Amino acid sequence: MNPAPSIAISFLMGFLTFLTPCVLPLVPAYISFISGYSVAELRKGELGKEAGFKVFISALFFVLGFSAVFVLLGLGAGALGQLLAKIKPVLMRIGGLVVILFGLQLAGVFKLMPLLRERRYQGEIRSRGMARAFLLGLAFAFGWSPCVGPILGSILMLAVSKDTMIQGAILLATYSAGLAVPFLLTALLLDRFFRIFKRIQAHFHKIEITAGVILILIGLLMVIGRFDLLKYYLEKILPETFLKWG
């Protein structure tokens, strides 16, 4: 399977994960927790350059934490795909059906109870500074929520369908990038985040439906074996160098 459509979709789904009501409203709290500054201090936007640098570096290590977990998951999914290489066409179709179910769940068509249970690390992290931010990033990646679960699960299904472990890792690294880029931009531009958030908040349901519909379409293409159709359309909007990467 051509890697370009998967890579583009993974980045988009990472970005949509950031915009979901399970993540976006909590971003200030995450940044506050990892940096040591209160949400009230962050909201004022009056932190000096040194404090602003500390916030950004904390966010960077947080991103590295959850990215490390996602990449390892990608390696594992890719390895599983290699073990089941002989039944890859069947695996692709089964994965497509699972992705469709995840999409229907995210769009609100029905609710699968296991996906509604949120799993978060509840223990105490005693480390300080950058180590604390990195460990919290690890804890965030292991979390499971009604929004993140279906999207991450769908990307993992795509990773299982890849030909190598490295391709699976690249797919999850791209998903991480889609989630990490807006997170880091938020850490840099916190004063603007609080203004933009109010506008996005009114569209949370539309974002979930959009993400769900995208997953359903991806699942359908996987089931009928026409996933590479995405490449035709992506070639019209993405640089050629991007489509060849991966």
Per-residue pLDDT at 123? 46
Residue 121 in 3-state DSSP? coil
Structure token digits, residue 37: 């500054």
Tens digits of residue pLDDT in 138-167? 888 877 556 677 888 889 888 888 888 999
Q: Please state whether the predicted TM-score (pTM) of the whole model is above 0.85.
A: no
Mean residue pLDDT of the chain comes to 80
Largest CA distance in the chain: 59
Percent residues over pLDDT 70 in the chain? 80
pLDDT (mean) for 188-207:
84
Over 83-115, what HEC string results? HCHHHHHHHHHHHHHHHHHHHHHHHCCCCCHHH
Alpha carbons 168 and 185: distance in angstroms, whole number: 26
Please give the pLDDT value at position 142: 78
Q: From the centroid of its chain, how far is CA 214?
A: 14
Q: What is the pLDDT of residues 51-104, one digit of tens each?
A: 788 889 999 999 999 999 999 999 999 998 888 878 878 888 888 898 898 889
Task: Please determine, for residue 191, whether its predicted confidence score (pLDDT) is greater than 80.
Answer: no
Residue 241: predicted pLDDT: 45
Q: Is the pLDDT reported for residue 235 higher than 50?
A: yes
**pLDDT in the model for residue 148:** 77
- DSSP of 143-206: -B-TTHHHHHHHHHHHHHTSSSHHHHHHHHHHHHHHHHHHHHHHHH-HHHHHHHHHHHHTTHHH
Residue 33 DSSP symbol: H
pLDDT reported for residue 243: 46
The predicted pLDDT at position 245 comes to: 43
Q: Given a cut of 60, is residue 116 above it in pLDDT?
A: no
Which amino acid is it at 73?
A: L
pLDDT of residue 46: 62
Is the confidence at residue 112, as pLDDT, over 70? no
